Amino acid sequence: MSFKTIFFDAAGTLMKTVRPVGESYALLAKRHGMDVSPTAIAGRFRACFSSATPLAFPNAQPKDLQTLERAWWKELVRRVFEPYGRFARFDDYFAELFAYFSRAESWCLYPETLETLAALRKRGLTLAVISNFDSRLFNILKGLGVASRFDSVVISSHTGYAKPAPEIFHRALAFCRAEAEEAIHVGDSPDKDAAGATNAGLTGVLLDRNARVKSDSFPRVQNLAGLLPLIDNGR
């Protein structure tokens, strides 16, 4: 199989937060009068995020998207703090938190990201992003210096569908004028990325940096550089 297009997940694949999410949530909360454990709040975040409705707004008007995105996150963060009682300054806290994660300085690329993207581009491949993120991702990628590396960036909040729904993969394929059987999607979620892409007809590749996933259902790489032999062997 000769691959021509590589799609990437964003957070957890191309980039990560500069410090653990629980630490950021707890540090900013303390400034607003709420003292919580970073470890406990990280656990709450994972639980609430995994059970949240998709960050996607079918039939929404473009002018309403950023308001809907912010409301989605505000409700999620509110759920994260539910066990801790009344949070009197929650609105101020959320405003600072949302702004913090909007800034490129709050994120960093994984060490191999730039080199791998350059090597893939040198091979003549189309590169693009498929992410369950919101509008903030565009400026984050720009601030990290990688926005220009991608032919398209498709996010769930704009398309109305979130991974693992096949529609978001099909939308991304259409943007790139790519065929599913000639495309790879790589990401760190077995369900949303690897299985979602596979079910949509692409080759789903699981990025498992810490070798934690007990599944052999998909091709697996430990870092993005692991894509290179996968691509070369398919040529």
Q: For the segment 65-122, what is each residue's pLDDT rounded down to a tens digit?
A: 999 999 999 999 999 999 999 999 999 999 999 999 999 999 999 999 999 999 999 9
In this structure, the dihedral spanned by the alpha carbons of residues 65, 141, 192 and 179, taken in order and rounded to 10 degrees, is 100
The topology (CATH level 3) of 5-16+107-233 is Rossmann fold (3.40.50)
Domain boundaries, the chain: 5-16+107-233, 19-105
* pLDDT of 202: 97
Q: What is the pLDDT of residues 129-153, one digit of tens each?
A: 999 999 999 999 999 999 999 999 9
Mean pLDDT of 27-55: 96
Hey, is 17 helix, strand or coil?
strand
Express each pLDDT in 181-228 by its tens digit: 999 999 999 999 999 999 999 999 999 998 887 777 889 999 999 999
Q: Which CATH class is domain 19-105?
A: mainly alpha
Q: Give the pLDDT score at 214.
A: 75
Question: And the tokens for 22?
Answer: 């629980």
- For residues 186 and 184, give the distance between their C-alpha atoms in angstroms, rounded to a whole number: 6
Taking CA atoms, 37 is separated from 17, 27, 49, 52, 106, in Å, by 18, 9, 18, 22, 20
Q: State the pLDDT at residue 1.
A: 61
